[in-house]
């Protein structure tokens, strides 16, 4: 086993370069902190750039809309599991966060070219047109471009192609830094009194996902192994419309943004019958969990593996102007959306749960912070409202940097400054292909006790203890641990709610109107724990 042989120091190490990570790094730098960003890929390799729809925000220039209404829509979509206080705080801070992003150079689409007012679209679960967007359907790419450009002035040092393996901790469990592998796989340590996880999501738990290959649940595993609880992990949001590219799709599938339905498109099955008619009062713009479940039921009833999104009411020029990214993806599979409906199917998209944090990014472990998709602030509940995630990343990323600065101003205990070299940990690692297959078959939309038990047994049989000496092993270990934690929560929640659909418990019950928290036992097994508060939670 190799011992770490290089070392660097910072006040704050940020893991990940998505919207939350870079927002936090830039704010930390403004506050005078010595910040170091680590990413296992290139700076622009994260999930943020794939976001299409936009940022849900109430800027006060649309008469019929209000922050309170946006909060209400979020709570309704979250099916009783959102934290109303956290939700109000995050959504209330949205306008300032978007203005800060504009000040960094992000350009959003306008009602008319060079006009003052930003254009708005609507997505599932929103009762108003409040989603601002950029480049038509390339909002994430513009957000990422603005943040990466602002970070590239030399004052935010970045270690690209470096993989975070484990946190360094004092005997009392406080985080003192990070064990990482450099681009050549050589271990080293980053000594820091604060580590912020902004590692994004877990879509690679499944065979088909809208997420890029980096979305391997790394932050969830790091946090669990550091002693931090995670919650709401059973709520994996499946996006209703990723482009169907043929049976047995694997890896990242192109998204067909919900904004297409916001602009009037409708879902139809192979017979041309509407999928959402009569299912929900908001029909094709119902919350995402409702639409994905309805598509899944319709596909099962007809024995099909996809449905269609009929966008033919838009002219070719309208579609090209508004949805250039979707158009390019459709053309690669030979579909022209202005003349033929787009084949689509649900795929894993967003983790509503994650590491338990306050709205200021504090976890239950001193020195460990989290923001963005990896964190569970209470904003998403059992089903995230569309386009609330870029907003959350901007708001919580900023606030997490501020809480690190405030915590460090109180003084760092001297033992937290000590971080010793240590060997890479040895943990169970399952075969990724096997894991994705059983997760897709038994832990996607429509689960039951028997299937979840099969996932558990397959993981137990296929997992082998391996030292985390390569990026691939770190990722596979993260997927293994996260899958175990997820199925523990999914098996325990004996009801259906939001994104968690149990075929053997189809009803939503008041008894289960609470979040489930998962921690690791001393031997590293995920177990359901009592709800845990993050530090500083009310
Ligand atoms: C979409 O554009 O449909 C996805 C946006 C989101 O997941 O918030």
Distances (CA, A) of 80 to 370, 514, 515, 534: 23, 8, 10, 20
Reported residue count of the chain is 538
Distance CA 54, CA 62 (A): 17
> What is the chain's mean pLDDT, rounded?
94
Q: Which helix (H) or strand (E) holds 223?
A: helix 218-225
**Could you read off the pLDDT of 23-45 as tens digits, one per residue?**
999 999 999 999 999 999 998 88
* Cβ neighbour number for residue 441 with a 10 Å cutoff: 14
**Could you read off the pLDDT of 129-179 as tens digits, one per residue?**
999 999 999 999 999 999 999 998 877 999 999 999 999 999 999 999 999
Ligand 1 mutation target, pool 130, 239, 351, most atoms within 8 A of CB: 239
* pTM of this structure: 0.95
Ligand 1 atom showing the smallest separation from residue 139 Cα: 2
With a Cβ cut-off of 6 Å, ligand 1 is lined by: 51-53, 255, 257-259, 350, 386-387, 389
409 three-state secondary structure: helix
pLDDT recorded at residue 1 = 45
Residues 50-87: b if buried by 16+ CB within 10 A, e if exposed: bbbbbbbbbeeeeeebebebbbebbbbbbbebbbeebb
Ligand 1 atom showing the smallest separation from residue 389 Cα: 8
pLDDT in tens, the chain (538 residues): 456 579 999 999 999 999 999 999 999 999 999 999 999 999 888 778 888 889 999 999 988 899 999 999 999 999 999 999 999 999 999 999 999 999 999 999 999 888 889 999 999 999 999 999 999 999 999 999 999 999 988 779 999 999 999 999 999 999 999 999 999 999 999 999 999 999 999 999 999 999 999 999 999 999 999 999 999 999 999 999 999 998 878 889 999 999 999 999 999 999 999 999 999 999 999 999 999 999 999 999 999 999 999 999 999 999 999 999 999 999 999 999 999 999 999 999 999 999 999 999 999 999 999 999 999 999 999 999 999 999 999 999 999 999 999 999 998 877 777 777 788 999 999 999 999 999 999 999 999 999 999 999 999 999 999 999 999 999 999 999 999 999 999 999 999 999 999 999 999 999 999 999 999 999 999 999 865 556 665 4
Ligand 1 atom showing the smallest separation from residue 124 Cα: 3
User: Which candidate, 243, 245, 240, places its Cα nearest to that of 285?
Assistant: 240
Whether the Cβ atoms of residue 456 and residue 430 lie closer than 8 Å to each other: no
Q: How far is the CA of 479 from the centre of ligand 1 (A)?
A: 23
pLDDT recorded at residue 5 = 77
Whether the Cβ atoms of residue 240 and residue 267 lie closer than 8 Å to each other: yes
CA angle at 374 for the pair 440 and 65, rounded to the nearest 5°: 100
- Paired tokens of 507: 């009803």
Q: How far is the CA of 225 from the centre of ligand 1 (A)?
A: 31
Strand partners, 182: none
Q: How far is the CA of 288 from the centre of ligand 1 (A)?
A: 10
Strand partners, 344: 243, 307
91 three-state secondary structure: helix
Distance CA 192, CA 190 (A): 6
What CATH architecture applies to the domain 420-529? Answer: Up-down Bundle (1.20)
Distance of alpha carbon 181 from the chain centroid: 24
pLDDT recorded at residue 515 = 96
Strands (E), 137-185: 158-159, 163-169, 175-181
CATH of domain 240-347: 3.90.700.10
May I ask the CATH class of domain 23-187+354-409?
alpha beta
Q: Which residues contact 205 (CB under 8 A, 6 or more apart)?
A: 217, 236, 348, 435, 436, 439, 443, 479, 482, 483, 486
Which residue puts its alpha carbon closest to atom 8 of ligand 1? 387
Task: Check if 240-347 and 420-529 are the same fold.
Answer: no
Q: How far is the CA of 290 from the centre of ligand 1 (A)?
A: 15
Q: In what order do the strands lie in the sheet with 368-370?
A: 158-159, 35-38, 12-15, 194-197, 368-370
Ligand 1 atom showing the smallest separation from residue 256 Cα: 3
Q: How far is the CA of 386 from the centre of ligand 1 (A)?
A: 5
Q: Which helix (H) or strand (E) holds 217?
A: none
Q: How far is the CA of 210 from the centre of ligand 1 (A)?
A: 10
* Residue numbers annotated as active site: 288
Ligand 1 mutation target, pool 200, 255, 287, 392, most atoms within 8 A of CB: 255
Q: Which residues contact 479 (CB under 8 A, 6 or more apart)?
A: 202, 204, 205, 216, 217, 430, 432, 435
Ligand 1 atom showing the smallest separation from residue 258 Cα: 3
Which residue puts its alpha carbon closest to atom 2 of ligand 1? 53
- Domain positions in the chain are 23-187+354-409, 240-347, 420-529
């Amino acid at each position: 086993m190799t011992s770490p042989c290089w070392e660097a120091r910072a006040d704050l190490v940020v893991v990940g370069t998505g919207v939350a990570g870079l927002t936090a790094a830039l704010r930390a730098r403004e506050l005078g902190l010595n910040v170091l960003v680590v990413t296992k890929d290139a700076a622009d390799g994260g999930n943020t750039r794939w976001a299409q729809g936009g940022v849900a925000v109430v800027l006060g220039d649309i008469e019929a809309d209000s922050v309170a209404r946006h909060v209400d829509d979020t709570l309704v979509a979250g099916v009783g599991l959102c934290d109303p206080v956290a939700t109000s705080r995050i959504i209330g801070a949205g306008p300032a966060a978007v203005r800060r992003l504009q000040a960094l150079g992000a350009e959003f689409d306008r009602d008319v070219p060079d006009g003052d007012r930003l254009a708005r679209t609507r997505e599932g679960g929103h009762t108003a047109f409040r989603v601002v967007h950029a480049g038509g359907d390339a909002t994430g790419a513009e957000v990422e471009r603005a943040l990466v450009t602002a970070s590239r002035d030399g004052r935010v040092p970045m270690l690209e192609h470096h993989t975070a393996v484990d946190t360094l901790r004092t005997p009392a469990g406080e985080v003192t830094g990070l064990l990482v592998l450099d681009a050549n796989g050589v271990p080293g340590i980053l000594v820091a009194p604060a580590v912020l996880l902004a590692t994004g999501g877990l879509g690679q738990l499944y065979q088909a996902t809208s997420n890029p290959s980096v979305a391997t649940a790394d932050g969830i595993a790091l946090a669990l192994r550091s002693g931090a609880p995670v919650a709401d992990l059973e709520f994996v949001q499946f996006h209703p419309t990723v482009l169907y590219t043929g049976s047995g799709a694997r890896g990242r599938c192109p998204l067909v943004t919900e904004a297409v339905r916001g602009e009037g498109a409708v879902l139809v099955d192979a017979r041309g019958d509407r999928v959402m008619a009569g299912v929900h009062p908001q029909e094709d713009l119902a919350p995402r969990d409702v639409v994905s479940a309805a598509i899944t039921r319709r596909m099962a009833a007809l024995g099909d593996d996809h449905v269609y999104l009929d966008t033919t009411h838009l002219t070719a020029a309208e579609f090209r102007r508004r949805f250039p990214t979707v158009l390019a993806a459709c053309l690669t599979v030979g579909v022209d959306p202005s003349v033929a409906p787009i084949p689509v199917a649900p795929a894993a998209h967003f983790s509503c749960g994650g590491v338990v944090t306050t709205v200021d990014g504090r976890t239950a472990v001193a020195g460990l912070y989290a923001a963005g998709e990896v964190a569970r602030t209470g904003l998403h509940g059992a089903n995230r409202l569309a386009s609330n995630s870029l907003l959350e990343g901007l708001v919580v990323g900023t606030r997490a940097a501020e809480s690190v600065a405030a915590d460090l101003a109180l003084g760092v205990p001297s033992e937290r400054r000590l971080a010793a070299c240590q060997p890479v940990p040895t943990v169970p690692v399952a075969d990724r292909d096997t894991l994705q297959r059983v997760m897709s078959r038994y832990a996607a939309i429509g689960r039951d006790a028997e299937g979840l038990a099969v996932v558990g047994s397959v993981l137990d049989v296929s997992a082998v203890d391996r030292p985390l000496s390569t990026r691939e092993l770190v990722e596979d270990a993260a997927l293994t641990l996260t899958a175990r934690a997820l199925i523990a929560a999914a098996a325990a929640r004996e009801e259906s709610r939001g994104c968690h659909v149990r075929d053997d418990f189809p009803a939503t019950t008041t008894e289960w109107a609470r979040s489930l928290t998962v921690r690791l036992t001393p031997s590293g097994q995920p177990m359901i724990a009592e709800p845990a508060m993050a530090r500083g939670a009310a």
